[in-house]
Structure 1
């Protein structure tokens, strides 16, 4: 009697890291030649569990070192209480559970949530990573999604036309400590949308279609300035994680040599203990140099590879790129090219980051920042501040946006000269920088105009620092005007709305005599005069 496995084949589709352009993993997709076995598996948890095991074994036969994504229906996990057979198959294949991500897919309707969460807890305890798949077009409750606390959230392709939804999910993922991915990317425009909205990984025909053989090379469109993701104060190490080449800490030097010679793209091997914690780091060049020396193979081939390794360099999964550089900077200079292992809360290896990826990304960030600096004050321009405004809106944070300028600055330049005017502007810029505290950002948007983004509690000391001192240019007294709009959570949709709310407040502040400060609230008419009496009307003529 024919078996359902006789007509079942599997295809491999890369999961692409949009920051590095590398393959972060392979999703294994069932491709039956006849019938609809996936529909049957949706109704039959036992069949779905056997499909997961078959997918794992299909990947093992291809001898791929990449992390794997195995699809399982939510109802299967709730019914079976986990996937004992899959855990056994992973061990038999010589893989480690933390190299496998369980992509949990809908439907969730009528699935016992407590049983599902207990099953997810079992899988996570075994070391598997968890992905919430098909989010956005399925029926996963938002509360359940937060309870699952996945390592990765994959958005359905239908959301590619809804940038705001992707940005909102990025905010949620940041709170959950998860990566955000999108599926079904077919065009460069869709890829740009995903990037600009904050997606970190993606799949789709644009990068590589599902294929019988695992793909190591993918096409990723070059990033354009408009496709940059939401600015971050420090890039997260999660954005740069590459798959790690792992072997048990008992591996021989011959086993490591076989892995390296068969995988030219692997820059090093991590030797891990039975819990997946890195024990030794084997650098490709140094290892092969030792093995290729006179008597090297005879001396080391059958001996533990750990003897030719170094203590691993590790960072937590929540580290920033700058913290990775701090780790690299400590110790021997000849190890600066070593991969840095990224570990979870249990010390288990989740992947590696390469110094070249970090340096390239941080250098691009610095070049972009330098290009936007005002040549007079060396402060960032309006793009940097408005970008930070959008980031705070996207992450659900309230803020205060202020506009500061010099009253009658043209008369200052005409009367005292442009050199005195330039020195005054530089002095005001220095005062703002010195007064900046916490997460305050100061920008010089041109002429005598400054933008200040800060938290509301820092407003009073900031205002005192710039409005209390007696300012002058060329011996002429000068007054400053400050306008502030408070933007609580949900009061503005983007930096344009915030700027529109600020404009009438600036006009009100300029209508006051001497040092002045006017404050308003986004969406609420009127304003409060914090400093400065009303100026008498100017006589005609």
Structure 2
């Protein structure tokens, strides 16, 4: 009698890093040739657990070194808890738990939520990574998603035409320290939408369809310009993570050599302890050079490979690309080509980054940034400022957004000449840059208009630096007008709303005589006149000036 396993096959679909274009992992998909095993597994946790075990064994037979994504239903975890047989299957396959991500999928309705969360916690403590699968098209409650604190959120492609929802999910992922992936990407337009929405990973027919044999290469379209790169200054290191080649720290030099010679794409091996913490880093070229010497194989083959390794370079998963470059720059010159290990909050390796990937991406970002600079002042335009406004709103940080311009600038140009007008604009831009400190951002949005984004406590010093300065153009005195809106968490939901609050404040400032400054608060009527002469106090909501710094 034939077993149901005789008609069960597995396919492998790559999970693609949308920044590097490399394969980050393989999702192992059950493909029954007869019957509806998956429907039965949804009702039978024991069967679903067996499918997960068989998926790991199928991947082991293909001898792939890539990390694996294994599907399990939420009800299976709630019912079976720690998935003991899966642990054993991973061990027998020569894998480490942190090389396996469990894609926890719907349905979640009627699943005991606390039992599910307890199972997720137990699996994570043993090293497995957790992914929330089918988000956006399933029934996963937001509260449970938050409490699961997954390492990865897989978003259904149908949400790409709802950018506000995707943006909210990206914000949640950033706060949870999770990556965002989009499933079911079939067209280049969907790819562009996924990248623009801030997704770091993707799956779908566009890159590569599921196949019986793991693919070595995938198709990734050119990355759209101006795409999102995370909420932190500089691209996040998570965007560049590649799978790491891991071996136990007890591995022999012969075992490392076998891995390297059988996998030419591997640039180095990390030796990790029982908890997955990198102990030594083995660089491909230096290691093989030592082994290929006259007595190299005889001397080292049966000895610990750690003797031929170096202290690993590590960065946290929340680091930026610039911080990785700092780590590389601080080390020995002969190790600049070494991979840098990326570790989670427990110190466990989650992958590696290569210097070439970082340099290429940072160079591209600098080109894009230069293209957006105003040619007169070399300051960024409005996109850079409004993007940072949205990040501060998402992070729940208070901020002050100010709009500065020159009074009667057309008369300045007409009377003193455009060259004198250009000199004045450049001088104002330099003054703003000199006054800016810390997290302050200055932008030149065209003509005589500037945007300044700063923390509320840094506003007074900035205002004094530009409004207390005597300005002139071609010997003619000139004054400036400044409008500021203070935004506390919850008062605005995006940069357009902050800009809308700022527009009437600018109009009020321009109506005053002399150097002027008008300040308002988002969500509250009226404004305060802090500098300038004109309307009486009864025409405005004048309040005793509260200290801003």
TM category (shorter chain) comes to over 0.9
- 1:432-451 Cα shifts (integer Å, max 9, x gaps): 12222342210112332111
Conserved in 2, the CA contact under 8 Å of 1:342 and 1:352? yes
Alignment partner of 1:23 is 2:36? no
**Where in structure 2 are the equivalents of 1:185-334 lying within 5 Å?**
185-225=185-225, 227-229=227-229, 232-334=232-334
Alignment partner of 1:475 is 2:475? yes
- Looking at structure 1, the residues matched to 171 and 107 of structure 2 have their Cα atoms a distance apart, in angstroms, of 24
Q: CA deviation at 1:465?
A: 2.1
Of stretches 63-72 and 112-121 in structure 1, the one that deviates more from structure 2 is: 112-121
**Any gaps of 5 or more consecutive residues in structure 1?**
537-541
- Looking at structure 2, the residues matched to 252 and 232 of structure 1 have their Cα atoms a distance apart, in angstroms, of 40
Q: CA deviation at 1:229?
A: 4.5
Q: CA deviation at 1:110?
A: 1.4
Residue of structure 2 equivalent to 1:520: 520
Residue of structure 2 equivalent to 1:61: 61
Q: CA deviation at 1:340?
A: 0.4
Q: CA deviation at 1:317?
A: 1.3
- 1:254-285 Cα shifts (integer Å, max 9, x gaps): 21111111111111111112221111111111
Of stretches 395-404 and 218-227 in structure 1, the one that deviates more from structure 2 is: 395-404
- 1:386-423 Cα shifts (integer Å, max 9, x gaps): 33234334555453322111112233334444444333
Conserved in 1, the CA contact under 8 Å of 2:105 and 2:134? yes
Conserved in 2, the CA contact under 8 Å of 1:155 and 1:183? yes
Q: CA deviation at 1:431?
A: 2.1
Residue of structure 1 equivalent to 2:429: 429
Residue of structure 2 equivalent to 1:167: 167
Alignment partner of 1:408 is 2:413? no
Secondary structure of residue in 2 paired with 1:437: coil
- Looking at structure 1, the residues matched to 112 and 535 of structure 2 have their Cα atoms a distance apart, in angstroms, of 69
Residue of structure 2 equivalent to 1:382: 382
- 1:53-109 Cα shifts (integer Å, max 9, x gaps): 011011011110000011111111111122111011111111000000011111111
- Looking at structure 2, the residues matched to 232 and 412 of structure 1 have their Cα atoms a distance apart, in angstroms, of 40
Q: CA deviation at 1:492?
A: 4.8
Q: CA deviation at 1:321?
A: 1.0
TM-score scaled by structure 2?
0.93
Residue of structure 1 equivalent to 2:98: 98
Report the count of equivalent residues. Answer: 536
Residue of structure 1 equivalent to 2:542: none
- Looking at structure 2, the residues matched to 135 and 396 of structure 1 have their Cα atoms a distance apart, in angstroms, of 24
Conserved in 2, the CA contact under 8 Å of 1:483 and 1:519? yes
RMSD of the alignment, in Å? 2.0
Secondary structure of residue in 2 paired with 1:325: helix
Residue of structure 1 equivalent to 2:178: 178
Conserved in 1, the CA contact under 8 Å of 2:271 and 2:280? yes
Secondary structure of residue in 1 paired with 2:107: coil
Conserved in 2, the CA contact under 8 Å of 1:151 and 1:179? yes
Residue of structure 2 equivalent to 1:539: none
Conserved in 2, the CA contact under 8 Å of 1:193 and 1:227? no
TM-score scaled by structure 1?
0.94
Of stretches 460-469 and 260-269 in structure 1, the one that deviates more from structure 2 is: 460-469
- Looking at structure 1, the residues matched to 43 and 220 of structure 2 have their Cα atoms a distance apart, in angstroms, of 37
- 1:271-320 Cα shifts (integer Å, max 9, x gaps): 11222111111111111222222232233222222222111111111111
Secondary structure of residue in 1 paired with 2:95: coil
Q: CA deviation at 1:493?
A: 5.3
Q: CA deviation at 1:344?
A: 1.4
Q: CA deviation at 1:455?
A: 3.0
- 1:115-151 Cα shifts (integer Å, max 9, x gaps): 1111111101110011111111111111111111110
Of stretches 11-20 and 219-228 in structure 1, the one that deviates more from structure 2 is: 219-228
Conserved in 2, the CA contact under 8 Å of 1:513 and 1:535? no
**Any gaps of 5 or more consecutive residues in structure 2?**
537-549
Secondary structure of residue in 2 paired with 1:59: helix
Residue of structure 2 equivalent to 1:345: 345
Of stretches 468-477 and 180-189 in structure 1, the one that deviates more from structure 2 is: 468-477
Of stretches 266-275 and 444-453 in structure 1, the one that deviates more from structure 2 is: 444-453
- Looking at structure 2, the residues matched to 465 and 242 of structure 1 have their Cα atoms a distance apart, in angstroms, of 47
Conserved in 2, the CA contact under 8 Å of 1:164 and 1:197? no
- 1:185-219 Cα shifts (integer Å, max 9, x gaps): 11111111111111111111111111111112111
- Looking at structure 2, the residues matched to 345 and 227 of structure 1 have their Cα atoms a distance apart, in angstroms, of 28
Secondary structure of residue in 2 paired with 1:515: strand
Q: CA deviation at 1:501?
A: 3.7
Residue of structure 1 equivalent to 2:121: 121
- 1:204-249 Cα shifts (integer Å, max 9, x gaps): 1111111111112111110122544567412111111100001112
- Looking at structure 1, the residues matched to 461 and 29 of structure 2 have their Cα atoms a distance apart, in angstroms, of 59
Residue of structure 2 equivalent to 1:38: 38
Secondary structure of residue in 2 paired with 1:514: strand
Conserved in 2, the CA contact under 8 Å of 1:16 and 1:207? yes
Residue of structure 2 equivalent to 1:80: 80
**Where in structure 2 are the equivalents of 1:435-474 lying within 5 Å?**
435-474=435-474
- Looking at structure 2, the residues matched to 9 and 409 of structure 1 have their Cα atoms a distance apart, in angstroms, of 73
Q: CA deviation at 1:467?
A: 1.3
Conserved in 2, the CA contact under 8 Å of 1:167 and 1:394? no
Of stretches 146-155 and 380-389 in structure 1, the one that deviates more from structure 2 is: 380-389
